[in-house]
A and B are shown apart, each in its own frame.
Chain A
Amino acid sequence: MKITYPHMGSLNMILKTMFEGIGVEVIDPPPSTNKTLTLGVRNSHEFACLPFKINVGNFIEALDKGADTIIMLGGIGPCRFGYYGQVQREILKDLGYDFKMIIVDPPHGRLIDFLKELASYFPNVDGKTALKSFVFAVKKMIAADKLEKFLLKYRAHEDNPGVTTKIYEEYMKKLEKAQNGKEVDKIVSEAMKKIKENANVRRKIQLKVALVGEIYMLLEPFTNMDISKSLNELGVEVTKTEYLSDYLINSAFKLPQRMEFKKNARGYLERDIGGHGLNTVANTVKYAKLNYDGVIHILPFTCTPEIVAQGIIAKISRDYNIPVMSLVYDENTGQAGYQTRLEAFVDLLYRKRMEVVC
């Protein structure tokens, strides 16, 4: 059995660690590129959302590399993600691939159910080893997210453009290869130290922007054209609102953060509407209250929950007097359009702060 899975931020690193830990062979799909996108777009429905198309591209490339089993998550709605696997299987079947697709359908979206369901596909693995490799994988994931949070803040202050990104990428590679917990801790602290040494630029007006929106778009730098890098290079500190580790912790212990979301969104959106619509609304309110300079909302084209959220956060923007910009991403890969809009948005934020200063 050669397992593969779709890309989603640092998910591949975690899954690889986990499956290799229990002795299953893993075929990593090649990193998402324009070729991946083209393959996905060619074989998907035109209104399927961008994550769906990239998944399809990832699967095709991984199957070509020799994978024979695909692991995919299911769901019970109302986001269409819950039906992704079913449709993708038919697409790949029509393309003539011979493979097995494992669609893990957690009945209540809880972590424990997911693990139980997943374990049932690997009867020969003993529970202890599985749990051990899972815990180690989670540790890596938390480390990776911690490093990214650090990066998004300090890259805005880097002395020489591009250096921080290089350091980050170098240490992420090291993290991927790390074999034990001690090593992981060492890598993270070393990377943080190095990044900090290279970040000494101080500005009179320091802008802070929160990135809200659909989780896949936020986690995959390829799909959002590395928007946080573009913003950092414009001298803006970025706070990303979705991380894989947060997501995992939330699904493991459902209550705390969800209550916070509901509380923040009260008056604007009264219930979960599927996908990350509620999170988007709640986070916009949260960061508006924290006096951030602006909020950028990113979503894939045709994402229904985010479209509802888009209408609602426009009102939040008026109520809290905070600039909000929605960026819709589809399969067009022209980066210049987005760059122009980001620059204009950042200019606007500067102006707004200058008014306050004067």
Chain B
Amino acid sequence: MSKTVGIPKGLLYYDFYPMWKTFFEGVGAKVVVSQDTNKKILDEGVKNCVEDACLPVKTYVGHVINLKEKDVDYIFIPRIVSVERKKYLCSKFLGLPDFIKSLIGDLPPIIDIEINYYKNNDKFTQNEFIKVGRMFGKTKDQSLKAYFKATHQQKKFESLLKEGLTNLEVGRMFGKTKDQSLKAYFKATHQQKKFESLLKEGLTNLEALKVWEGKNLVKEESNYDLKIAVIAHPYDIMDEYISMGIIEKLKNMGAQVYTMEMLERDLILEGVSMLSKEMFWNYERDILGAGLYFLKQKNVDGVIMVSAFGCGPNSMTEELLERIYKREKEVPFMLITIDEHSGEAGIMTRLEAFTDLLRFNKKAVMV
């Protein structure tokens, strides 16, 4: 019987699920996902987490407990240090597996491979190769030889291969050879690309995940009269429970919603180029870039930024964006903070007021 790997439905699940799923299935494991966030999951998360942690982390803890109850063989909690050269992720991702292991007892084995693209230099890559080679019983020289052969291949291929090797560590746990793991890995990246191209077509992460899994989206009539950009971490707004369905609500109010994942990379970089120092967190860089891009292009009627209570990185980006928006006075900007409260009325009122304001603005322009 094949082993089961549990993937918690939280944090970067919304960004990398297609890749993770394809990879694990490629090495012969069965993937189990935790339930959609519900009251029980959130309550368990809040109860077992440190009180000052942010909402998405508390939710994630709830999802891990949910998987534990499902009796999976492994739980996949990667230590994601960096997904882009010279860019970090928020501290919580760097210590995530350690943090979760300290909080919850009696967990099944955790697959905590390190995903780290921070250094792209040769030395690091070499060491990685040697390390992996050793895992397969190869000597240092043999590994190095194989490595130099590989460097003659295309440069692009090299960076992919490096990522593949992090994933190889996992492949070995399921008794697969290097080739099989690599094959699974390349299949995984292909699927991930497919998913990302869906995002660029204007689907939200959640919709894209559904399409990717082969579900049909209900075609909505496009009688939107407003365009609103919602910029936030996907793990804040794609979880319909903790964000109280902000995106769904906006759509029902007649607004077409844009998220930062829908923007092409160079548009985000174009936005960021207005800053004197680039952000060292790549997701925060995206938030700033998307915010500045929408402000410059004025192709949306309003911008809503959603962040979790006590989010450290967002305290910097919000402050900057809000100030810049205020100076320009061109595009209305609203901040919404979410936490474990579940009173929908407050959010509803603010969204209604905001859409009313945007419509009012529009008429003023037309008259």
Contacts and interface: CB of A to CB of B under 8 A. Distances in A.
A133 interface: no
B50 to A, nearest CB: 5
Contacts of A44: 319
A307 B102 contact: no
A324 interface: no
Contacts of A82: 280
Nearest to B114: A271
B338 to A, nearest CB: 13
Contact of B102 (A52, A103, A311): A311
Given A76-B280, A273-B91, A302-B312, A86 B275 contact: yes
B319 A48 contact: yes
A187 to B, nearest CB: 40
B331 interface: no
A308 to B, nearest CB: 4
Nearest to B279: A83
Given A274-B88, A312-B102, A301 B277 contact: no
B117 to A, nearest CB: 14
Nearest to A48: B315
B212 interface: no
B53 A78 contact: no
Contacts of B130: none
Nearest to B308: A47
A48 B316 CA distance: 7
B312 A304 contact: yes
Contacts of B276: 86
Contacts of A309: 95
Interface string A296-329: 0000011111011111101100000000000010
Contacts of B315: 45-49, 52, 80, 302
A78 to B, nearest CB: 4
A91 B89 contact: no
B311 interface: yes
B174 interface: no
A77 B280 contact: yes
B96 to A, nearest CB: 8
Nearest to A75: B280
Contact of B98 (A77, A270, A274): A270
Contacts of B313: 80, 304
B165 to A, nearest CB: 18
Interface string B290-326: 0000000000000000000111111110111001100
A274 B102 contact: no
B-side interface size class = 35 or more
Interface string B150-172: 00000000000000000000000
B50 A83 contact: no
B94 A271 contact: yes
A52 B312 CA distance: 11
Interface centre among A79, A105, A273 (most CB of B within 10 A): A273
Interface string A130-149: 00000000000000000000
Contacts of B90: 78, 304
A301 B275 contact: no
Contacts of A273: 91, 94-95
B131 interface: no
A52 B97 CA distance: 29
Contacts of A269: 95, 98
The 7 tightest CB contacts between A and B, nearest first, are A77-B280, A315-B102, A78-B88, A47-B315, A273-B94, A308-B95, A45-B319
27 contacts: A47-B315, A48-B319, A76-B86, A77-B88, A80-B313, A80-B316, A86-B277, A90-B320, A90-B324, A91-B319, A270-B98, A271-B81, A271-B94, A273-B94, A302-B310, A303-B312, A305-B95, A308-B96, A308-B99, A309-B95, A311-B50, A311-B99, A312-B98, A312-B99, A312-B102, A315-B102, A328-B52
Given A83-B279, A312-B99, A314-B102, 6 more contacts: A44-B319, A47-B311, A86-B316, A103-B277, A308-B99, A328-B52
Interface of A: 44-49, 52, 74-80, 82-83, 86-87, 90-91, 94, 103, 105, 268-275, 277, 301-305, 307-312, 314-315, 328
Interface of B: 49-50, 52-54, 79, 81, 86, 88-92, 94-99, 101-103, 114, 275-277, 279-281, 309-316, 318-320, 323-324, 327
